[in-house]
Amino acid sequence: MRKILFFDVRDNEEEYLKQNCREKNFVCGSGCECVLLPQRLDSQTVITEEMASSNIISCFTFSRVGEDVLKKFPNLKLIALRSVGYNHIDIEYCKSNGISVVNSFGYGNVTVAEFAFALIFDVRRKVSRAYMNLKNEHLDRDSYMGFELFNSTIGIIGTGAIGREVARIASGIGMNILAYDIYPNEELSKKYGVKYVDLEELLKQSDVVSLHSPLTKDNFHLIDDEKLRLMKPSAIIINTARGELIDTKALYDALSEGRLFGAGLDVLESENILTQPQKQWDFDYLDSETVRQTLINERLLKLRNVVITPHSAFNTQEAQDRILKITLDNINSFFKGQIKNSVY
């Protein structure tokens, strides 16, 4: 019997998966066992002999699936990601061992773009700070001075599906739009007046910088100390993509020294520790770099000009339904001998 392991399954996903894995249009049907597991898949996950026989695993971005994990699944043929990003998977090992990796491309374009603007409004107008002060009976209206978005300039790094949605929203607000992408989109320029420039020019000219690039080995710490020093002191930076695109220590320095107005971050380097507090004292799980990044993240959380959320930009009902539908469609196609949404 074919076996599919779904990791990172939340309560509100369980019923959808249970129902749809039994549907007659799901090729696997009665000849397939779908196992739904709430835990993440990483080096500490206990893999039983029965689990190890699985042909397919599905996981979210919170899992960390390296070579040590993959070797525990000798019959694995497909990893069906419930995400677009795939930097949490050892792609080179998968390539070398005939394991297909597919993602949920297109599930959250609008969802993530809207969340980016939620962060932009919050940071530029200090919404969270004003709310918390009011809640604690401490009013300081002078400290809530912000900046309008109308007629200001947004710089979009990465104009893929999500970046294009950000451009659409920015255009509606009346912002000037700069963009940086190694593959400029001429249609976007015509439709929303997007002007493509090099990265340095974008950072110098933008009032808001929003990151929407996938994480690759070539753009790790794309935004480092040198790049941050190009930005205006009145500018903000928004990251709903991947934490490793920004050198967190350099960002902390810029924010704490007043070289940037603020930041809105839905992703961080080594964010797993913040979202799994029980791991903070698990010395089998931690290494020196993870400890370092976690300490920096903790310091970032204490800054008044930063809004940090726990990797939740994807989290709307509509996006969740699309993720699950695309994931099951990808698995269905695999059983039919087709590969949809391959990441390599």
d(CA 147, CA 65): 42
Closest CA to 120 of 85, 152, 143: 152
The catalytically annotated residue of 165, 242, 244, 322 is 242
What lies within 8 Å, CB to CB, of 325 at 6+ separation is none
Superfamily of domain covering 109-308: NAD(P)-binding Rossmann-like Domain (3.40.50.720)
* Number of Cβ atoms within 10 Å of the Cβ of 324: 20
Q: Is 138 a catalytic residue?
A: no
Closest CA to 237 of 106, 8, 319, 224: 224
Closest CA to 59 of 76, 43, 71, 42: 42
> In this structure, what are the phi and psi dihedrals at residue 307, rounded to the nearest 5 degrees?
-115, 125
Q: State residue 283's pLDDT score.
A: 57
Q: State residue 278's pLDDT score.
A: 62
SS3 helix, strand, coil % of the chain, rounded to 5? 40, 15, 45
The catalytically annotated residue of 129, 212, 271, 322 is 271
Q: State residue 142's pLDDT score.
A: 80
CATH number for the segment(s) 2-107+317-335: 3.40.50.720
Residue 45 is encoded by which pair of tokens?
């996950």
Q: State residue 2's pLDDT score.
A: 79
Question: Tokens 């400290």 identify what position?
Answer: 143
Q: Which residues pair with 209 in a beta bridge?
A: 155, 237
d(CA 244, CA 240): 11
Cα R_g (the chain), whole angstroms? 21
The catalytically annotated residue of 64, 88, 124, 311 is 311
Q: State residue 237's pLDDT score.
A: 98
Q: State residue 66's pLDDT score.
A: 97
Q: Which helix (H) or strand (E) holds 252?
A: helix 248-256
Q: State residue 280's pLDDT score.
A: 60
In the chain, CATH 3.40.50.720 sits at: 2-107+317-335, 109-308
Question: Tokens 């919050």 identify what position?
Answer: 122
**Euclidean distance between the first and final Cα of the chain, in Å?**
28
Q: Is 311 a catalytic residue?
A: yes
Question: Tokens 């000009």 identify what position?
Answer: 305
* Contact (Cβ atoms closer than 8 angstroms) between residue 90 and residue 68: no
Mean pLDDT per 10-residue run, the chain (344 residues)? 89 88 61 88 94 96 95 97 94 97 95 98 95 87 90 98 98 98 96 98 98 94 98 98 97 98 96 68 70 90 95 94 95 93 95
Note the residue count of the chain. 344
Q: Is 242 a catalytic residue?
A: yes
pTM: 0.88
d(CA 60, CA 69): 15
d(CA 275, CA 309): 10
Q: State residue 31's pLDDT score.
A: 66
* Contact (Cβ atoms closer than 8 angstroms) between residue 65 and residue 90: yes
What lies within 8 Å, CB to CB, of 24 at 6+ separation is none
DSSP conformation class of 141: G
